[in-house]
Amino acid sequence: MARDERKIPVVVVCGFLGSGKTTLLNHLLRSSRGIRIGVVVNDFGSINIDSMMVAGQVDSMVSLGNGCLCCAVDASDMDAMFATLGSGSSELDVIVVEASGLAEPRNLIRMVLGSEIPRISYGGLVAVVDAVEFRATRLAHQEIEQHLAMADLVVLNKTDMLEPIELDAVAGLVREIVDEVPVLPTVLGQVDAELLFDVPERVEDRSVARQMSLDELLYEDDDHSKHLHASYTTTSFESREPMDPRRFVEVLEQPSGEVYRCKGFVYFGIDGFSGKYVLNTVGRHISLQPIDWLPGEERVSRLVLIGTEIDEELVEIRLLDSVRRLGDSTATSAMLPVHRYTSQTK
């Protein structure tokens, strides 16, 4: 897909004051390895303290190096900034909106979904929780439960500052609120970029970009200690038979274990919908975007799932059960579950 046709995902990071949002963002920027990140720091105060922590000193927009950009705006300026960051000539791979600790996530999500910038797409809500202060924050700010309920991925931060018994208790409270939403324990906001968005590989002159293949996602070099699968469970799936849309979407909506990320290509083969669907999930946020097959490209579904406690055998069984069988509906109505995730809806 040509760069000027590629969608730029917008990932919203929310969390109460002191939860570690800026620490997480700085970690992504430091460990980006060539990822070009657009950063929107949504500050509501007169002094943009978080912006200064991110960029040193922010004046509307500054270069963070490595092709990344940072800007500080209030809510009314958000779409104007998206217009700049998501222009047809933009070289960014992802835009991260760091919400103010006082911001209402629902409003920010609506701004992204309502953006009229063609290249902008909603990439999910990541909620950062201070494990140490969670009980006190929950008592003082009951709206935290509403914020967490909207999240696609919850980052439980500062886990190193609690004893194991207390950490288990706090994690249990968070899971009661978020139900099936994945909860990722972290220290110092250290979240792998691959869990939030696609990581491109660039040639040495940095003038050309391409998405990493599924194999490259799992095996980047010979130092296996640096691979994503050294810290997380990864499993893959491939089918040369078309997938049943209804059963496949059910697997995405109710994955097995703590699946933080799923990406790949899906082939449904339904009349009128015979193209390739690019799948990207971040926690419970699901995106299925249709594109054309390349000339001579094999019609095949290929997926990679990343997370913890993934029961590989169960995942394979469920995905194999999602392969279309004789008698399955091939009417266009079978694609209705897929259509829920082809638009920019939450």
Range from 85-89, 144-148, 206-210 carrying the lowest mean pLDDT? 206-210
Say what the pLDDT of residue 71 is: 54
Residue 297 vs residue 224, higher pLDDT: 297
Cα–chain center distance at 307: 13
Q: Position of tokens 């059963």? A: 247
CB atoms within 10 A of CB 254: 10
Pairwise CA distance, residues 311 & 191, whole Å: 22
pLDDT of residue 321 exceeding 90:
yes
pLDDT (tens digit, 9 = 90+) per residue, 17-31? Answer: 788 888 888 888 777
Say what the pLDDT of residue 42 is: 62
pLDDT of residue 213 exceeding 50:
no
Say if strands 209-211 and 94-99 run parallel, antiparallel, or are unpaired.
unpaired
Residue 223 vs residue 300, higher pLDDT: 300
Reported as a pLDDT band with limits 50, 70 and 90, residue 33 is low
Q: Where are the domains of the chain?
A: 3-195, 213-339
What mean pLDDT value characterizes the chain?
A: 77
Q: Report, in angstroms and rounded to the nearest whole number, the Rg of the chain calculated over CA atoms.
A: 20
**Token representation of residue 76:** 């009314």
Task: Report pTM.
Answer: 0.74
Architecture of domain 3-195: 3-Layer(aba) Sandwich (3.40)
Highest mean pLDDT among 36-50, 108-122, 155-169, 208-222: 155-169
Say what the pLDDT of residue 66 is: 43
Residue 33 vs residue 312, higher pLDDT: 312
Based on the number of CB atoms within 10 Å of its own CB, is 180 exposed (0-12), middle (13-18) or buried (19 or more)?
exposed
**Token representation of residue 326:** 């004789």
Non-local CB neighbours of 345 within 8 Å, separated by 6+ positions: 113
Reported as a pLDDT band with limits 50, 70 and 90, residue 75 is low
- Residue 338, SS3 per DSSP: helix
Q: Which has the closest alpha carbon to 307: 249, 264, 256?
A: 256
Say what the pLDDT of residue 194 is: 81
Pairwise CA distance, residues 244 & 329, whole Å: 8
Residue 4 vs residue 33, higher pLDDT: 33
- CATH of the structural domain 213-339, one choice from 3.40.50.10470, 3.30.1220.10, 3.40.1360.10, 1.10.1240.10: 3.30.1220.10
pLDDT (tens digit, 9 = 90+) per residue, 99-148? Answer: 766 567 887 888 888 888 888 888 999 999 989 988 988 888 888 888 88
Range from 78-92, 152-166, 221-235 carrying the lowest mean pLDDT? 221-235
Pairwise CA distance, residues 74 & 77, whole Å: 6
Alpha helices (runs of H) in 159-218, residue ranges in sequence order: 164-178, 214-218
pLDDT of residue 225 exceeding 70:
no
Does this chain's domain 3-195 share its CATH topology with 213-339?
no
Say what the pLDDT of residue 74 is: 55
- Residue 183, SS3 per DSSP: strand
Non-local CB neighbours of 142 within 8 Å, separated by 6+ positions: none
Cα–chain center distance at 305: 13
